[in-house]
Structure 1
Amino acid sequence: MRNVGARAFTTSAAALTAAVTFAATAQATTATTVVEKVPYAMDSSNQAAWWTPAATYKGNGEYTYFALNEPGTTETTHRPAVARRAPDGTWSRLPLLKGDGTRAEFTDDNGHNQPSVARDGSGRLHVFTSMHCDTWRYFRSDAAGGSLTDHAGELPDQGAGITYPVLTTAPNGDLYLAARVGCAADQRPGKLYHWDNATATWSVVATFGSALNRAAYPDDLQVDAAGRVHLLYEWSKAPASAFRHQLSYLRYDPATGEFTNHAGAAVTVPTTPDTSDVLQGLTAGEEWSTDNTGYTGPAVQSAKLTLDGSTPKVAFRYRSADSAGDFRVYYAYPSGGGWARQTVYAGGQTAAAIGITWDGTEGKRVYYVTAAGADRVFAATEAGGAWASSSVTPGLTADRLAVRRDADGQDVLYLPDTAHNSLYYARR
């Protein structure tokens, strides 16, 4: 494959395959979804559930940034890049570059070696990518619109094995990053990091979760208007497992340095499965297991977080003893001193990806992907305790998703179609 160097590649919206507009009806509300095919080849390894591959920014219009794996020079490798959509619909591409100016290329590893992206308050893009117990692979632009170059040496915890980096932008332009750090057989902690945008430096906030014979799995994090960080994570038996347990929530206030649960009670970090603020506890037949093929009992597999003001709302997938092996979709929210849960979708097997946003009119919107069917990406809304789902992109064969709420109050969806090596942008 030809070396593209540091240039950004640009394609106008008019040059793309015609955008498709869908009208999807959910209950009494009609949401119009505009879909575009991202004009860059996508590698089939561009699939995960934990990642944060989409970011948005409101400048002179809405900008969107999609981090993706492009095909590598072999069938078993990929080259990460960021596809940038300008307000006029023009797409451009920023490849990730090594120190010698050539493109970064990594081994495929579905569910692990995928990119997460965020934009800081100075316009710099930050990408963490392709780490499964690898040392930091971190690329950043030094100015708005600049090339994405290797800055891995600037992170704390040099030499540690990193997995599952998820990140988000705070209202003041700082960033927060959560990742699993360490690759020991008996314990794999989760850590929270902070990017100070004013000083352009990373630091460790805290180890948020660590316990003997357990591994932490970061799912998502959001920052509210007051600057408090809301973190969502799971636990598995160490060293690792495809099936996790005790989905947990934690809140951090940078102004005080304190960690609390959803009710504001102080929490000591690192948390353990026994001290976490657990949304979904163990149920009948649930076991801690590292058997990724033989274990068929209850488990959590993916979850995402949104905020209604400063109140956390969560969508997650859970397999129970009575779900016939299916991972059903659930919604959880604080209720009194605990968490209430509602079943969003129980009509069949779902894929690992999930998303949630908060809409000023509809309230929560839960996005999920079915394991089969002509239409696979659905949005669910609730009224009076009843959930209704509608296809987001009828006829589109996307099989993974991520979603971000932009400053204009629109949901921006990142939709990979791994069977056809295509990535789609949708806005609704």
Structure 2
Amino acid sequence: MSLENSQFNVSAKSFDAEVNVPSSKSYANRAIILAALSKDAITIENLPLSHDVTNLLNVLREVGLRIVEVENGIIIENSFPECERPSSEKIKIYPGDGGTTTRFLIPFLAMGKNSYQIEPEGRMRERPVADLLEVLAELGASINQCDTWLTIRGPLSFQTNKLKADASKTTQHATALALCLAFQNIEVQPVDMKYSKSYWDMTMSLIQDFKKGQKKFYVPVDFSSMSYVLALGADRGKVLVKNCVDIDTFQSDSIFVEVLKNMGYSVTLSDKGLEVKSSEKEITPINLDCSNCPDLVPTLAFTCSRIDGESKLSNLSVLKYKESDRLLEVQKLLDLYSIENTYNEKEDVLHIKGSKKRIDKAKEIYPPDDHRIVMVSYLFLRAHGGGVLNSIHSVSKSFGNFFEVVEENE
């Protein structure tokens, strides 16, 4: 379906479907950056339908990378900064609004000698990057923060074999540095890592695979995207995710599978795929530390809202720095459907007193330009009285065919 109309009519109905979900943009963008720095030709298969990935590939082509499309993937044939075409003028770079795309590109481009004017979109212009820039400045990068957002110029100077990177707000700064310095034998040490440790582990594992000489990579399914269809299946019937036959523990959001099982939903993993369905058993509330899975919080909040009892989600403050203030937006959705909730800022805990009761009245929701809030808004609409969902174009960031998948077999 076309997302140009930016509006979708949602019907309140059951869900019984067999689907495929996108592959992981987090894995894909890490592998792409490493491939673009590798001296070998690297093949990456099963890329996701994601604007973040497309934007990254477009930028890499712009700076001289030869990227050839092949069946089910791409081959990156040459490497940066060797491929860099000397320019006396600033080169404008448009990475979109993606956190990984923009943050990974900042140190990547600083490996070269040209001056790059980086102009992201939307809320990315407001999200934290100062800690990353501070480290790059210490390595000799010339940085100018201006109205167009940021201009950076290398090359970097490597006079140390260890670097420390603040990871208190995001692991993406440390990850960006580790990826771009992977072949320089420099160890990047995250400091005060509070969130998304599994994604750091994913980064380290990929770096080791590259250093071992692996030349072909297959992008696994994305458990963040999968969480929406799993939550829908658990609440409204059942779903079989055909292209998920194992659990990728490097993706922190894969914990959702275990969470659903522990709550009492029917969860089965086999060579046919991952099946989740509603259960006649009593579903129990949860008390979950979300520091390692902040992107999962909107889906968790929906799931907690659909059962009787009080659930607690903790370590959520990082949500304020995402594509929107996701903590605020989640609370807006809970309030819209009269789900009792309170957030204790000092303890950093969201209390959700859920209810199986459905509100039959149709709603119209105007979410911010944030793919995860748009998708969870769809879940709320479908679980209750349906209605109209706006800003649907945002799903193209990570799950471009979201509406086709959730409407499949209906």
How would you bin the TM-score normalised by the shorter chain?
under 0.3
TM-score (norm 2): 0.27
- With normalisation by structure 1, the TM-score equals 0.27
Structure having the larger proportion of residues in strand:
1
Higher relative contact order (CA 8 A, sep 6+): 2
Structure showing greater Rg:
2
